[in-house]
Chain A
Amino acid sequence: MSSLYEEVSTAPASDVPVRRVTININGENRTVDVEPRLLLAHLLRQGLKMTGTHTGCDTTNCGACTVLFDGRPIKSCTMLAVQADGHAVQTVEGLATASELHPIQEGFKAEHGLQCGFCTPGMMLAAKALLEENLNPTEDEVRWALSGNLCRCTGYQNIVKAVLWAAEKMRAQAGQE
């Protein structure tokens, strides 16, 4: 694709510089030409049609666009797509395998950790980053780790329970291995 926001757009004016970047997205290398001002969130959503990453605010507060960038959570509305060149990005679409859900996904469903679902992908990725560092978090540690992600529906209590649910399952899985 080109610098386009969407593939239906007209070709960019010749004086608009584009950069070819290769980003590893959910384990797969994707090479695209992007205009430097394109936000990573928009590349994922429009350019690559991975609409699970949402944009909720303009001011880097809400965290709905949270993805993992080289394993660490970032707000993808606050990074340029060109900056992801040569890096690995994980989105909500990369959480489940073909055959099974990630325990965090299962936890969110089991504990009613979502209502409208808009903040959920960002929440789950923030939770994944936490659990990769700390598989046995306290309730407060979960609340702290998720404090860069806003939810308007749930009141967070069930989100916290969902993450603790997932942690328990992941500990059990780790114990089996």
Chain B
Amino acid sequence: MYPSRFQYESPKTVAEAVALLDQGAGEAKLLAGGQSLVPMLKLRFASPAMLVDINGIEELRYHRFDSDGTLRIGALCRHEDLEKSDIIRQKQPTISAAAPLVADPIVRTRGTFVGSVCHADPQGDWAATMIALNGRIVAQGPKGRREIAMKDFVLGPFQTALEHNEIAIEAVIPAPQGVAVGGYIKLERRVGDFATASVAVALDVVGDKVVRAGIALGGVGSRTIDASDAAAALVGQPLTDATIAKAAELAAAAAEPRSDHRGSADYKRHIVATFVSRLLNQIHSSKEAA
């Protein structure tokens, strides 16, 4: 309940923040929403020598669509900003569906989208949406900026491709190649619980055809799983009972769950199939209704 000592820095620009991380030489941690980091400090699971608090860099709190439909989410965009955003609800239903299921309402006022992705918890919610939407992370380091595709970003549990002196300043979600449809379902035992299993589905649809698909699975592997075969099975196809069943089957096959006190591996795999099927059916029937 009582963090150990650290040096605290609150830079006003990204460049300053990068310089501080560089100085920290791997012993510095970046503090954004802090909803995972501060509990770890309190339990002394993390004892960094330096904390670089970027909350003072106000210009990082944004989410906006470029004119071409690309969505950009700044490093200080809080979960609740996305949850309450009308434009997200209209244009990126997968994110809109996941936002209210992240942690609990109080945590959502403070925790950030990008921070959550960087935390790289295999049971986290946002990584699944990022993979399903083929997102990228913009990292800024001493040598400038680079973009890292989400599928390359998470290396393992709580490990990312970020260098110790790099800051993930933005998440980028490419513009849909048609109409973006999708959703997110999470099996949690209680509000605020980590996912027993979760599924994010994001489809770009033209007419009745799926032109791009992303399906990602949370809680069923040592990192968020890109069910690319399942997604690929939908591309170029309309949603039908048969294509939906095939995608569900392939998604379940892609899962790598372990049996634990949240459920057996078989159960989690079954939940993945059930949720993929439910989401796709939901998308299908709402399209029918429209």
- Which residues from chain A sit less than 8 Å from chain B, CB to CB? 16-17, 19, 35-37, 39, 55, 58-61, 63, 66, 69, 72-75, 77-80, 82-83, 85, 126, 129, 144-149
Residue B3 at the A interface, CB < 8 A? yes
Interface residues of B in 1-47 (CB under 8 A from A): 1-8, 10, 31, 34-35, 38-39, 41-43
Q: Which of A73, A77, A129 contacts B42 (CB 8 A)?
A: A77
- Output the nearest chain A residue to B193 by Cβ-Cβ distance: A61
- Give the docked Cα–Cα distance between A147 and B191 (Å): 7
Indicate if the CB atoms of B192 and A148 lie closer than 8 Å: yes
Q: Which of A17, A61, A78, A145 contacts B34 (CB 8 A)?
A: A78
- Give the docked Cα–Cα distance between A77 and B107 (Å): 11
Knowing A36-B8, A78-B38, A80-B38, the reply to whether A147 touches B3 (Cβ < 8 A) is no
Indicate if the CB atoms of A55 and B39 lie closer than 8 Å: no
Q: Which residues of B contact A73 (CB under 8 A)?
A: 105-106, 109
Knowing A39-B42, A77-B42, A83-B53, the reply to whether A58 touches B1 (Cβ < 8 A) is yes
- Which residues from chain B sit less than 8 Å from chain A, CB to CB? 1-8, 10, 31, 34-35, 38-39, 41-43, 51, 53, 55, 80, 103-107, 109-110, 191-192
Q: Which residues of B contact A77 (CB under 8 A)?
A: 1, 38, 42
Q: How near does chain B come to A77, taking the closest CB pair, in angstroms?
A: 7
A-B contact count (CB 8 A): 96
Indicate if the CB atoms of A148 and B7 lie closer than 8 Å: no
Q: How near does chain A come to B78, taking the closest CB pair, in angstroms?
A: 9
Q: Which of B34, B43, B51 contacts A59 (CB 8 A)?
A: B43
Indicate if the CB atoms of B42 and A72 lie closer than 8 Å: no
Q: Which of B7, B35, B106 contacts A149 (CB 8 A)?
A: B106
Knowing A35-B5, A37-B4, the reply to whether A72 touches B38 (Cβ < 8 A) is no
Q: Which residues of B contact A61 (CB under 8 A)?
A: 104, 192
Nearest first, the 10 closest Cβ-Cβ pairs linking A and B are A148-B104, A36-B8, A148-B106, A147-B191, A72-B109, A37-B3, A78-B38, A148-B105, A60-B39, A58-B1
Q: Which of B4, B10, B110 contacts A74 (CB 8 A)?
A: B110
Q: How near does chain A come to B11, taking the closest CB pair, in angstroms?
A: 13
Q: Which residues of A contact B1 (CB under 8 A)?
A: 55, 58, 77
Q: Which residues of A contact B35 (CB under 8 A)?
A: 60, 78
- Output the nearest chain B residue to A77 by Cβ-Cβ distance: B42
